[in-house]
Amino acid sequence: MHRRRFWRISVLVAVAALLLAACGSNKGEGSSTGTTTAKTNTVKIGVIAPLSGSLSALGQGIKNSVDLAIKQANDKNKVKGWKIELAAEDDTAKADVGAQVASKLESDTAVAGVVGTLNSSVALQVQPILARANVVMVSPANTGIELTQGTDPANKKRPYPNYFRVATTDAIQGPFAANYASKDLNAKNVVTIHDKKTYGQGLVAEFTKQLVKNGGKVVAAETINPGDQDFSAVLTKIKPLNADLIYYGGEYPEAQLLTSQAKAQGIKAPLMGGDGIFDKTYIQTAKEASEGDLCTSVGAPTDELASASDFVAAYKAAGYKDDFSAYGAYSYDAANVIIDALAKVLSGKAALTPALKQDIITAVQGTKLDGVTGKLGFDEFGDTTTKVLTVYKVTQQEWKAVKTDEFK
């Protein structure tokens, strides 16, 4: 009896060991930098993004684009005497996991900067941890206002001097969407739905303010839970309101089900969202139901920007498995902002000291670069100085840019 149990346990252990080995080798393939360098110093740029889970399409695009920027910098030897490595961490789009991986990067003294996060809610947890170690953080995608301007809109105060973003905020994206809704779509009665996360809630709040200013009306303000799949109750409730538009604050995993179920219930109004729904997956899942739906995204369309064509070509040539997705170009720019600062501060230096990390932050603050998404620079809060946004519409099962404009 005893022997049998022992045998069974050994089999279990063997299987577990095999599985672990398999995981390990997978990771090895995924990371880009592996070879050791003999003479040069190594500095790391971290990535914190959802590399698995429902938002991984966006997260992988972020990671690969940063990887591309690092490879190019190494090839051109941009930071003299230093080799840059990528340290990518998976936050699974959850704030607590984000805090854990941020601590991991904080404790790694070779990490000089971090590109991330995707989610504003995760960034809120990551900011203070990286700030402790003076690690500069540049987000390609965060739109939550409080990240740069604090919680009190009347008394703006930057919470962390190490935090920057190349994405525009909800304070601009929400009103931009509202202006499009009132002026271009002639939408008077709008239903808003959000997923109670920092991003969705902020977007809907700013959208609502501007819509009311434009003379529109929010006829129902509803919420859903992230992770829910059945939205029939909320949709039945709003159906008789005959709204002109459904404005959704949230991301595509819920939005694509919401729009499918809305159309199945016979709701004609299109769904409009922020950059969180701007992904191919949205159309692939919702199929015909997504036709005519709208979204806003930061910057001008990557494919149409002349400055971005080199990036698009290089990304394709690098042969990444996943698409660069909505934030690829921004992540590439964010990485280059950090690399540019590293080149200024670290070139010729022997070691990365805490004082130099402070200098890197100062260098990022003074960034003046021509990025693939436009001019890169930061105001006194760490927000981007470029405020261009684009409205996209699902036309024949594809996101087509319908209006690019600078928000004033």
Partner 1 sequence: MTQFLQQMVNGIVLGATYGLIALGYTMVYGIIQLINFAHGEIFMVGAFAGLFTFARLPTALQTRPLLALPLVIVSAVVVSVTTSLLVERLAYRPLRRASRLAPLITAIGVSIALQELVRLFYPLPDGRLGAKSPVSFPRLVNGPPVDLGGVTIARVSLFVVAVAIVLMLGLQAFVRTTRTGKAMRATAQDPDTAKLMGIDTDKIIVITFAIGAALAGIAGVMQGMRFVQIDFRIGFIAGLKAFTAAVLGGIGNITGAVLGGFVLGIVEVMATQYVPKGSQWKDVWAFVVLIAVLVFRPSGLLGERVATRA
* Binding positions for partner 1, rule: CB under 8 A: 23, 52-57, 193, 196, 222-225, 227-230, 232-234, 236-237, 239-240, 253, 256-257, 260, 264-266, 281, 284-285
In terms of CB distance, is 7 or 107 closer to partner 1?
7
In terms of CB distance, is 280 or 349 closer to partner 1?
280
**What's the token pair of residue 342?**
């590293």
**Residue 368 contacts residue 341 (beta carbons within 8 Å):** no
Question: Measured between alpha carbons, how far apart are the two ends of the chain, in Å?
Answer: 78
**What's the token pair of residue 313?**
């070509």
- The DSSP string of 119-159 is -HHHHHHHHHHHHHTT-EEEESS---THHHH-S-TTS---S
Q: How far is the CB of 55 from partner 1 (least distance, A)?
A: 8
What b/e sequence results for 345-361 when a residue is b if at least 16 CB atoms lie within 10 Å of its CB, and e otherwise? bbeebeebeeebbebbb
Q: How far is the CB of 311 from partner 1 (least distance, A)?
A: 24
In terms of CB distance, is 165 or 194 closer to partner 1?
194
* Residue 251 DSSP label: -
In terms of CB distance, is 84 or 258 closer to partner 1?
258
Helix or strand run (H / E) with residue 263? helix 252-264
Q: How many residues does the chain have?
A: 408
In terms of CB distance, is 212 or 220 closer to partner 1?
220
Q: How far is the CB of 16 from partner 1 (least distance, A)?
A: 10
Give the side-chain half-sphere CA count within 13 A for 212: 9
Q: How far is the CB of 26 from partner 1 (least distance, A)?
A: 8
Cis ω on the peptide bond leading into residue 92 (within 30° of 0)? no
Among 32, 58, 56, 35, CA closest to 45? 32
Q: How far is the CB of 220 from partner 1 (least distance, A)?
A: 9
Q: How far is the CB of 23 from partner 1 (least distance, A)?
A: 7
Q: How far is the CB of 239 from partner 1 (least distance, A)?
A: 8
In terms of CB distance, is 230 or 398 closer to partner 1?
230
Q: How far is the CB of 7 from partner 1 (least distance, A)?
A: 13
Among 118, 226, 298, CA closest to 126? 118
Give the side-chain half-sphere CA count within 13 A for 384: 34
Sequence-separated (6 or more) residues with CB below 8 Å from residue 97: 90, 91, 122
- The DSSP string of 169-201 is PHHHHHHHHHHIIIIIS---EEEEEE-SSHHHH
In terms of CB distance, is 156 or 280 closer to partner 1?
280
In terms of CB distance, is 53 or 301 closer to partner 1?
53
